[in-house]
Structure 1
Amino acid sequence: MSRGIASVAVAAALLLMLGACSDQPTVATPPSPANELQLDAIGPAFAPKCAGVTVTPEQDPQQVIDQHPAATTFCFSKGLHRITSAIRPGAGATLASSEGAVLTGSIPLTTWRRDGEYWVARGALPAAYELKGQCEDNKTNPCRPGEQLFVNGKHLTRVMSRDAVKPGTFFGDYATNAIYVADDVRKLDVELSRTETAIDKSATDVTITGLTIEHFASKPQGGALQVGTGWKVSDNEVRWNHAVGIMIIQGDKAVLQRNVVADNGQLGIGQYSSAGVRITENLVTRNNTDGFWIADWESGGIKSTRSSGEVSRNDIVANRGIGMWSDIAEYDRVIKGNRIKDNAADGIRYEISYQAVIEQNTVEGNGFGTGRNSGPSLWDGGGININTSSEVRVTGNLIRGNRNGISIQSRTRGDGPRGRYVLRDIVIESNQVVMDSETASTGVVENKNSPAQDGAITFSRNTYRIGDQQAERFAYRGRTMTWTQWQAAGFDKDSVSS
């Protein structure tokens, strides 16, 4: 089982390998977040020295916490801390490690027996429970149950019947409380994630730093680490949990900084009903390992709902879903200076929400793996997707080599807390949009009941690289257009293309 130092080294190598973008935009020059991040300050291996009450792997951390007053610092010593129920810190407490502590929600499985062509372990599953979630496979829905199985640290894929078990997969039968695998694992390290949550948002102003949090059986939309009001979460690694790695729930003014959030089953970071949150300088990568619906159900990098705050200078890379998604009544949102690269669905999606600034991001190579028969139309997004939102300014971004460039969508979406969801006051200016041979188009799409109103969208002072000037790389009012036709329709009259 790998530990924080090795994983952080891999993260740093990934950032260096991705490197800065080689092409400099003519109008806009967004920074490369990878150049700005301090790579030696990311992750648990580099957390500050911890001084406080020691918690050893042999101790129940909740018992230690309950024996001390609020605002105490608890130092988790090196080793594997098996967490059997969510830790509930008091107000102002610090949970930290400078020694490489790993909090795990898994239990070892050792009692394997032969059962025909399978190997089976019995008695480790919880009782059957209500399932939720939308999966990419919407017939057997394997993403819904929370438990994961790891063999020598390798994550096995869940299947939903014993007959479907083959090497690299497992089946959990809740009716008989049995886990089936295809290979003889008796001499291997086998772990079953079992505990749902590592740390609960039980109090305000808690600090979490220097911890590795892994193998928690969080349910869909639930976090392995749940963050509350005023929390500071920095220099942690949160990985290989079933649903959301870090979930901010009614956590006003929380700060997430310099964390590695990787390989979680549904989503890297979630934010719900939380104002003034800062998510900055994190590496969020390879999330949605358990097959949640890639295009439209909270899978991928970061998703926020009914919240506000800043998402800045993060690397949001290679997630199987949307890179950064604001959805439903977001407001006063700033998405700035991030590198958002190679995510399967949209790079940035701003949907049925209000005031936002999306600026100086590098958005590259997104939207090529959305699944479920998604195609190249602007309805499926790509680089930056603004969907039925108002007062959104998109400026100074480099948008290059995505499935689509900039997608503006107008739909019928009802009312929200700050008025009707409608496409209005959208300003797209001073961006560079590179549409190579694999990019479909940039433009506006509407459903018939909600056409975009004249003047609702302004494209201005942008620079496009489209190659063939006669190619139809733009779309409006249900038709594709050349650059000349796009300008004649009233867009980008002071912009340039090459």
Structure 2
Amino acid sequence: MIDQNPAGSTFCFSKGLHRITRPIRPTEGSTLASDQGAVLSGSVTLNTWQREGQYWVVRGALPAAYKLKGKCEDERTNPCQRGEQVFVDGKHLTRVMSLAALKGGTFYGDYTANAVYVADDPGGHQVEMARTETAIEKSAAKVTVRGLTVEHFASRPQGGAVQVGTDWTVEANDVRWNHAVGIMVIEGDRAVVRRNTVADNGQLGIGQFRSAEGRIVENLITRNNTDGFWIADWESGGIKATRSSGEVSGNDIVANRGIGMWSDIAEYDRRISANRIRDNAADGIRYEISYNGVIEGNVVESNGFGTGRGSGPSLWDGGGINVNTSADVKVVGNLVRANRNGISIQSRTRGEGPRGRYVLRDVLVEGNQVVMDGATASTGVVENKDSPAPESVQFRRNSYRIGDRAAERFAYKGAPMTWQQWQAAGFDQDSRSS
């Protein structure tokens, strides 16, 4: 119905549940909205359960097996890539790799036999399975999506339940419990994503790809990566933007199982400001192989304590704010408190980008308050063996709370340093510590 109406139409969804069996494709300038609590669901109900030994099984609900992508935190026991998640009375079950691993609170999907198994008796419960991949596709420009709840879509890794295009506005929605990305801006210049709650999605809260001048503002992004994607280094957690530009400001980015805010690969003219970023499992903010960024006025607290696979406590593993092999970056006026590490500046060998070789150059760290109370927390500059020598990395007018000034809370070129040694190396000459 929606794609058969003229451009500029407004579609008001009534209160209640709307099961979406194929993606909505809005026309140019149209509005999809609800002020009555409409829920768009990508799930189907599973009703035809049969007892089979100690388990219950329903057949014929799964799609044909498809190619998998994405990296999981635990690739031996947690199959994070498949999108058909199961919910019992709204509660998300954990997928297991085999029938033998099935237990209470889990499910097993056998795609060869087209069978879904659970261990708990489904009788008297509503059992749903995410089935439709996408709720709303970016089929046209200048679309508004407002006031909807979007849940239970079987989005593929790096794919969004809500896809956002050029000049879209996505505001005041509740996007939750979708398999991969909640809201994904794809080649959507000047898109605005604001005042949404984006929670409990399987991989990532909000993504942005090849999109200039975007605004991601005043959202709550929390508890994302429920399906076990790699926490430290594979696009999981709060927000990830790639080959894009624009503003990420005024958001609460809280308790995601991954990086809070990640700019990665050829970002340019990126501003990350006035966000409250706390309790994320990996870095609070990571600015990686990108250019011309400003990280200003954020409160970054208690991040980096949940990484597992391939990670440790050193500056190589990041911290509150991590600038990795990027150029022309300002880290200014942030409160960085009680993270795994404080501010980590990294120079790695990362190859060529659209603006030349990726190098660490012209990084200014100024006017930040850095509190490092943890036993191993530090701030500093690290570089690997073959990376170009960093050019013009400056720390100035910062304030540190480190407790013991004789403790080695800083690092440069692989050497841990005390406050006095750090200053003697040329950093933070006009800064103070306590």
TM-score norm. by structure 1 comes to: 0.86
Alignment pair present for 1:487 and 2:398: no
Amino acid at match of 1:165: L
Name the residue aligned to 1:346: 283
Q: Does 1:219 align with 2:156?
A: yes
2:349/2:388 contact within 8 Å kept: no
Pairing 1:138–2:67 present: no
Matched, 1:170 2:107: yes
Q: In structure 2, what is the equivalent of residue 367 of structure 1?
A: 304
Match of residue 383 from structure 2:
446
Structure-to-structure mapping, 1:96-245, within 5 angstroms: 96-245=33-182
| Alpha carbons 1:401, 1:438 under 8 Å: kept | no
Contact 1:401 1:439 in 2 (8 A): no
1:461 maps to which of 383, 397, 404? 397
One-letter code aligned to 2:299: T
Higher relative contact order (CA 8 A, sep 6+): 1
Q: Which residue does 1:23 correspond to in 2? A: none
| Partner in structure 1 of residue 193 of structure 2 | 256
| d(CA) in 1 for partners of 2:101, 2:3 | 46
Q: How much has 1:477 moved relative to structure 2?
A: 1.3
| Amino acid aligned to 2:416 | T
2:412 is the counterpart of 1:476: yes
Q: 1:251·1:275 contact (CA, 8 Å) conserved in 2?
A: yes
Amino acid at match of 1:491: F
Aligned mates of 2:296, 2:222 — CA distance in 1:
21
Q: Among the aligned pairs, what percent are the same residue?
A: 75
C-alpha deviation, 1:139, in angstroms: 2.5
Which position in structure 1 is the counterpart of 2:354?
Answer: 417
Equivalent of 2:231, from 294, 301, 316?
Answer: 294
Distance in 1 (alpha carbons) for counterparts of 2:313 and 2:268:
29
Alignment partners' CA distance in 2, 1:67 and 1:147 = 29
What secondary structure, in the 3-state scheme, does the structure 2 residue paired with 1:355 have?
strand
Letter in 2 for 1:94: T
Shift of 1:220: 0.3
How far apart are the structure 2 equivalents of 1:187 and 1:443? 57
1:140, distance to aligned residue in structure 2 (A): 4.4
Instruction: Indicate whether 1:77 and 2:7 are aligned.
Output: no
1:451: Cα distance to partner?
4.9
Shift of 1:382: 1.1
Is 1:318 equivalent to 2:249 in the alignment?
no
Which aligned pairs between 1:28-107 and structure 2 lie closer than 5 A? 63=1, 65-107=2-44
- 2:345 matches 1:408: yes
Q: Report what 1:58 is aligned to.
A: none
RMSD: 0.8
Residue 394 of structure 1: aligned partner = 331
Tell me, in whole angstroms, the C-alpha distance in 2 between the residues paired with 1:400 and 1:274: 32
Give the secondary structure class of the aligned counterpart of 2:12.
Answer: strand
Q: Please, which runs of 5 or more residues in structure 2 have no aligned partner?
A: none
Match of 2:432 in 1: 496
Tell me the secondary structure at the aligned position of residue 486 of structure 1: helix
Distance 1:296 1:241 in 2: 21
Q: 1:274: which partner in 2?
A: 211
Could you state the TM-score of these two structures normalised by the residue count of structure 2? 0.99
CA distance in 1, matches of 2:372, 2:312: 16
Mapped to 2, the partners of 1:425 and 1:341 lie a distance apart of: 27
Native 8 Å contact 1:403 1:438 kept in 2: no
CA distance in 1, matches of 2:3, 2:427: 63
1:67, distance to aligned residue in structure 2 (A): 3.9
User: Per-residue CA shift, 1:377-407, capped at 9, x if unaligned?
Assistant: 0011010000000000000000000000000
Match of 2:241 among 300, 304, 308: 304
Q: Is contact 1:402–1:439 with CA below 8 Å preserved after alignment?
A: no
Deviates more, 1:413-422 or 1:310-319: 413-422
Alpha carbons 2:78, 2:96 under 8 Å: kept:
no
SS of 1:399 mapped into structure 2: strand
> More strand per residue: 1 or 2?
2
Question: What is the letter of the counterpart of residue 320 of structure 1?
Answer: R
Cα contact 1:405–1:439 (8 A) shared by 2: no
How far apart, CA to CA, are the structure 2 residues paired with 1:451 and 1:72?
55
Cα distance in 1 for partners of 2:90, 2:196 equals 21
Tell me, yes or no, if the aligned pair for 2:244 and 2:266 is still in contact at 8 Å: yes
- The structural deviation recorded for 1:437 is 2.7
Distance 2:78 2:378 in 1: 33
Kept after mapping to 1: 8 A contact 2:396/2:427: yes
The CA distance in 2 between the partners of 1:465 and 1:67, in whole Å, is 62
Partner residue of 1:46?
none
